[in-house]
Amino acid sequence: MVLGIESSCDETGAGVVSGGRLLGAALSSSMDEHARFGGVVPEIAARAHLHALAPCVRTAMAEADVRPSDLDAIAVTSGPGLSTALQTGVAAAKAYALAWNLPLYGVHHLAGHVAADTLEHGPPPGRSVALIVSGGHTSLLLLGDLARDPIVHLGDTRDDAAGEAFDKVARILGLGYPGGPAVDRAAREGSATAVRFPRAMLGAGFDFSFSGLKTAVARHVEAEGTRAPLADVAASFQEAVADVLTAKAVAACRAHGVDTLTIVGGVAANRRLRELAASRCAAAGLVLRVPPPRLCTDNGAMIAAVGELLVDAGAPPAGLTLATDPSAPLTRAALAPASR
Ligand code: ATP
Ligand code: MG
Ligand code: FE
């Protein structure tokens, strides 16, 4: 049984996982405090984590109905993310590990996103392809056994992440921050075929590019002004993103002879992306795994899930010398940045 702590960005999360099952979780977001700045302010995020960490841990433990002595380990996000935000979580995790005399593991935030789905659907069967679509990353990965095998990067974004594109387009459309959920909501009333936005790099390998799309939306709004119905622009933009993401993810499965696609990260909460992925996977004979929206965005349970993989794999704990690494590369789910 593992307690996981997440504090890499603006969400403070704690979660308790046992035997691959989520027993209890708590989340606190400083999102509203960043809204008037149009993006996350690291200093504000760090202070919010400081206030929210202990209550989140207490709530998650209470919901799971576990005591510190029931735990086998503590896992905390050690990177990548905002430096001061990460340090707050790691410092708190060290305090718990010391006070409760438990081994401490550092977890890669993106490994957490990948493992989030195991809480819903169990470990991926053999080889699979994962699409991570979040606020800071857009990557296609080839996965084997999460506990043992290295993760192979098939493609990444060359500029903006998919979530970043949603956030920037939301700002262009005056929908505020955070942008993803706002665009998703606005798009419900709009037509996805109203504007034909560009599909960058479609059919050209497994890398992505979203900055041209964001610029195309800005140009369109500039040219059309208030004549451009906001819902149509939102729906057409969302369609362009979902189209490229799902086409490349399905192509990656085909290219690597894999029959399971997992989509994770905050953008995986997007209604249209989930819908289009479901229909294209069905047409291609692929099994699609997408966690429920609350496990797509940042949370503590996904970190606990990786922590349990590390414990089960017999990985050496990092202990009280655990350092943060704001730009840690993702190479393995388990056995990875633990001892750094
Ligand atoms: P990273 O995981 O890359 O470090 P992060 O932790 O900030 O970045 P997540 O919490 O995984 O990212 O996801 C947040 C992102 O997901 C934001 O960009 C947000 O706009 C986007 N997002 C959340 N919900 C939706 C939605 N329904 N539709 C589209 N995008 C969404
Ligand atoms: Mg967030
Ligand atoms: Fe994230």
DSSP sequence for 138-160: EEEEEE--TTTSBPEEEEEBSSS
Alpha-carbon distances of 44 from 12, 66, 102, 178, 180, rounded to whole Å:
12, 31, 30, 16, 21
Instruction: Name the percent of the chain lying above pLDDT 90.
Output: 89
Calculate how far, in angstroms, residue 133's C-alpha sits from the geometric centre of ligand 1: 7
Q: What is the predicted pLDDT for the residue at 335?
A: 58
Count how many Cα atoms sit within 13 Å of the Cα of residue 108 in the half-sphere of its side chain.
23
DSSP string, 67-127: -GGG-SEEEEEEESS-HHHHHHHHHHHHHHHHHHT--EEEEEHHHHHHHHTHHHH-S--SS
For residue 81, the ligand 1 atom closest to its alpha carbon is 4
Arch. (CATH architecture) of 2-114+296-335:
2-Layer Sandwich (3.30)
- Which ligand has the shortest distance to the CA of 10? 2
Q: Which residue in this structure is represented by tokens 């034909």?
A: 196
Calculate how far, in angstroms, residue 81's C-alpha sits from the geometric centre of ligand 1: 13
List residues near ligand 1 (CB under 6 A).
Answer: 8-9, 81, 109, 113, 134-137, 163, 166-167, 178-181, 184, 265-267, 269-270, 297-298
Strand 104-108 to 73-79 pairing: parallel
For residue 170, the ligand 1 atom closest to its alpha carbon is 20
For residue 163, the ligand 1 atom closest to its alpha carbon is 18
Instruction: Let me know: does 330 contact 145? Beta carbons within 8 Å.
Output: no
pLDDT beyond 60 at 86: yes
Nearest CA to ligand 1 atom 5: 135
Instruction: Let me know: does 228 contact 183? Beta carbons within 8 Å.
Output: no
133 is in an annotated binding site: yes
Calculate how far, in angstroms, residue 135's C-alpha sits from the geometric centre of ligand 3: 6
For residue 137, the ligand 1 atom closest to its alpha carbon is 3
Q: What is the predicted pLDDT for the residue at 340?
A: 38
Which residue ranges does the chain devote to CATH 3.30.420.40? 2-114+296-335, 126-290
ipTM over 0.95 threshold: yes
Q: Which residue in this structure is represented by tokens 């606190």?
A: 28
Calculate how far, in angstroms, residue 68's C-alpha sits from the geometric centre of ligand 1: 31
Instruction: Let me know: does 250 contact 280? Beta carbons within 8 Å.
Output: yes
The predicted model scores a pTM of: 0.96
132 is in an annotated binding site: yes
Tell me the angle at which helices 211-224 and 162-172 cross, rounded to the nearest 10 degrees.
10
- Best residue among 274, 298, 303 to mutate for probing ligand 1's pocket (most ligand atoms within 8 Å of CB) is 298
pLDDT digits (tens, 9 = 90+) for 168-190: 999 999 998 889 999 999 999 99
Nearest CA to ligand 1 atom 28: 270
Q: What is the predicted pLDDT for the residue at 334?
A: 75
Mean pLDDT of 260-275: 98
Q: Phi/psi zone of residue 23: left (φ > 0), alpha (ψ -120 to 50 degrees), beta?
A: alpha
pLDDT beyond 70 at 338: no
Mean pLDDT of the chain: 95
pLDDT digits (tens, 9 = 90+) for 217-254: 999 999 998 777 999 999 999 999 999 999 999 999 99
Residue (of 318, 268, 317, 314) closest to 290 by Cα position = 268
Whole-number Å distance between alpha carbons of 7 and 85: 6
Q: Any bridge partners for residue 139, and if so which?
A: 132, 156
Q: What is the predicted pLDDT for the residue at 37?
A: 84
- The arrangement of strands across the sheet holding 128-133 comes to 152-156, 138-143, 128-133, 260-264, 287-289
Residue (of 329, 333, 318) closest to 94 by Cα position = 318
Residue type (1 letter), 92:
A
* CATH number corresponding to 126-290: 3.30.420.40
- Which ligand has the shortest distance to the CA of 136? 1
Kindly indicate the confidence band of residue 36, based on its pLDDT and cuts at 50, 70 and 90.
confident
